[in-house]
Amino acid sequence: MKDSKDKPENEENKSKVSRRGFLGASAASAATIAGLGFSGVMTPTEFAEAASKARANSHHTVGPGELDEYYGFWSGGHSGEVRIIGVPSMRELMRIPVFNIDSATGWGLTNESKLIKGDSADILCGDAHHPHMSMTDGHYDGKYVFINDKLNTRVARIRCDVMKTDKMLTVPNVQAIHGLRVQKVPHTKYVYCNGEFRIPQPNDGRDLNDPTKYFTMFNVIDAESMEMAFQVIVDGNLDNTDADYTGRFAASTCYNSEEGVTLAETMRNERDWLVVYDIHAIEKAVKAGKFTTIGDSKVPVVDGRKKAKSQFTRYIPVPKSPHGINTSPDGKYFVANGKLSPTVTIIEIDKLSALFAGKIKERDTVVGEPELGLGPLHTAFDGRGNAYTTLFIDSQIAKWSVEDAIRSYKGEKVNYIKQKLDVHYQPGHNHTTMGETRDADGKYLISLCKFSKDRFLSTGPLKPENDQLIDISGSEMKLIHDGPTFAEPHDCMMVHRSKVKPKKIWTRDDPIFAETVKQAKKDGVTLEGENKVIRKGNKVRVYMTSIAPNFGMSEFNVKLGDEVTVIVTNLDRVEDVTHGFVMTQHGVSMEVGPQQTSSITFKADKPGVFWFYCHWFCHALHMEMRGRMLVEKS
């Protein structure tokens, strides 16, 4: 039973209607009635009937001053960021820079962000694909969101208490991290992610033109340390991945079973695979030292290739070029989506133990293969036994009954397709609210459409894409929102707001700026109240505070050619009083939130007077919050 504190505010207070709320609701009903085409004078009965219809159509509306029920975490695709969207309003709340450079916050420019990016600090772009939240016992825990960068083979972690990236890892031995999911049970000990492209191992210039020496790997990352745990060599190219609700099994769709390098070479076989991993068996082998390493990497690697008859993997034949792999919220099934077949394949997870024990064959785990339409890519669930699959070529969402599809596979004559809804156009990922957990609540589904064409005002040759929100709480799907979005929200997840508890302001001991605090102690500076310039040779550190509407230092002197590090500590304790620090003509820009310390390093490469100022509006005298850097000729 859910605790009342977890209920949305509009549920808690639905019986407490204030005069203001009553009038607002009446006004909203009148406006909606007008929008539905009613005009002229209505009788009380007609108005009541029309108001009832209006309320039915607007229960998902979030009015001014009201809060959304769900946080949505959207990947930013080739923008390299993650976006936070309120659902059902579809209002964009925040953008979290991850693999990109962000001049507003200074991400990728500040010393703190460069330290987090580590060996990839000099990479200025990314391709963010699959955001997924950490779990405890199959429930979202609101602690982390993980996201992959396909372009530069990285995985990053976002802390949900501050909505900032705090760890980043370049995955060794592979190329192009694509599918990513988290271990669900007993908690997110691991992050699972796929290396998609096959490369020589080690990829150091040898075997360039010998594809028989190419392979890729399934990668397992320790979620807390954000370091590699182990890798599994596989046959073919890995695509998407997901995990079960026991903690033992994970699975990846796998195309190019031919192991070709051209399109024609990858199309020869009739079927490809779903690769299933026995995580417990792999852990046991690694603990016993039964692994190898590749090149300079010290990451444990085990052989999971089909041709090696591995004890760690099983290859279940599925229709050609499978794409999405999704776990039903009851923990019973993996659903592999066909892409080049009109079908999806239902695998019963309880049969996997017998498969690994050699008691049954791979296809014996398949309990259903319903035909849904052209181009099935991804499947989501509502927790009521229904599945929702995107049909890329048909530009539709197919709603179907999992159990009816299984009955049909056994030979019963049953119609497992419940509805098809047109979407615009070519949908890729779709997700339901809480649908990747045990708590799937069946309220909303999002369809991330790759094209918008005629849906919005023209923006020239480059068009926005289209996110469409669908109400699935009733017996039929109803499209309730179109939202243009920019390149390319590849994937998303939606979590109830009760699961996420962000901080109001920073704490002074936050690990994100711990190294900067450590440097201040070495310099003998108290960040909370001291404004000081420290020079060591041609390296200058400028410590200053900020509190609206002043910086603690109105000017400082440096010499031409100095390496200057500016460290700013925001002393304000008021929520939403964020300051910024920018230095004109030097490409310097950073955010400094309440009680946060941020630092940035640059070269004073021009003589003269250069103003610095606060670029986050903070006070009525915000324009006056500024100072001078005086650069003297050497």
Domains and their CATH numbers in the chain: 4-57 (no CATH), 172-369 (2.130.10.10), 371-502 (2.130.10.10), 511-632 (2.60.40.420)
Give the integer Cα–Cα distance in Å for 156 and 166: 8
pLDDT tens per residue, range 4-16: 344 444 443 443 4
Q: Give the residue among 382, 464, 440, 500 at the shortest CA–CA distance from 93.
A: 500
**In Å, what is the CA distance from 253 to each residue of 8, 334, 397?**
37, 11, 21
Q: Give the residue among 567, 564, 516 at the shortest CA–CA distance from 539.
A: 564
Residue 4 has a pLDDT of 39
Burial class (CB in 10 A: 0-12, 13-18, 19+), 371: middle
Q: Compute the mean pLDDT over every residue in the chain, rounded to the nearest whole number.
A: 92
Residue 45 has a pLDDT of 62
pLDDT at 221 over 50: yes
Query: Three-state SS for 188?
Result: coil
Give the integer Cα–Cα distance in Å for 167 and 181: 17
Residue 13 has a pLDDT of 40
- pLDDT (mean) for 571-596: 97
Q: Is residue 495 a contact partner of residue 438, using CB atoms and an 8 Å limit? A: no
Give the integer Cα–Cα distance in Å for 422 and 395: 6
- pLDDT (mean) for 220-247: 98
Residue 50 has a pLDDT of 54
Least confident of 83-87, 109-113, 429-433, 616-620: 616-620
Give the integer Cα–Cα distance in Å for 133 and 580: 30
Residue 488 has a pLDDT of 85
pLDDT at 196 over 80: yes
Tokens in use for 373?
């339409």
Give the integer Cα–Cα distance in Å for 475 and 479: 13
pLDDT at 34 over 50: no
Tokens in use for 365?
């785990």
Rounded to 10°, the helix 19-35/44-57 angle is 90
Tokens in use for 241?
């991945």
Q: Write down the pTM of the prediction.
A: 0.91
Give the integer Cα–Cα distance in Å for 568 and 573: 15
Q: Is residue 174 a contact partner of residue 153, using CB atoms and an 8 Å limit? A: yes
Query: Three-state SS for 47?
Result: helix
Q: Name residues whose C-beta falls within 8 Å of residue 570's C-beta, 6 or more positions apart in sequence.
A: 545, 546, 547, 577, 578, 579, 592, 593, 594, 595, 596, 597
- Residue 339 has phi, psi (to 5 degrees) of 60, -65
Banded pLDDT at 17 (limits 50, 70, 90): very low
Q: Name residues whose C-beta falls within 8 Å of residue 131's C-beta, 6 or more positions apart in sequence.
A: 73, 74, 75, 82, 145, 146, 147, 158, 491, 492, 493
Q: Is residue 247 a contact partner of residue 236, using CB atoms and an 8 Å limit? A: no
Residue 14 has a pLDDT of 40
Q: Is residue 612 a contact partner of residue 556, using CB atoms and an 8 Å limit? A: no
pLDDT at 607 over 50: yes
Beta strand pairing status for 626-632 and 555-559?
A: parallel
Give the integer Cα–Cα distance in Å for 277 and 87: 35
Banded pLDDT at 38 (limits 50, 70, 90): very low
pLDDT at 51 over 90: no
pLDDT at 46 over 90: no
More confident residue, 589 or 29: 589
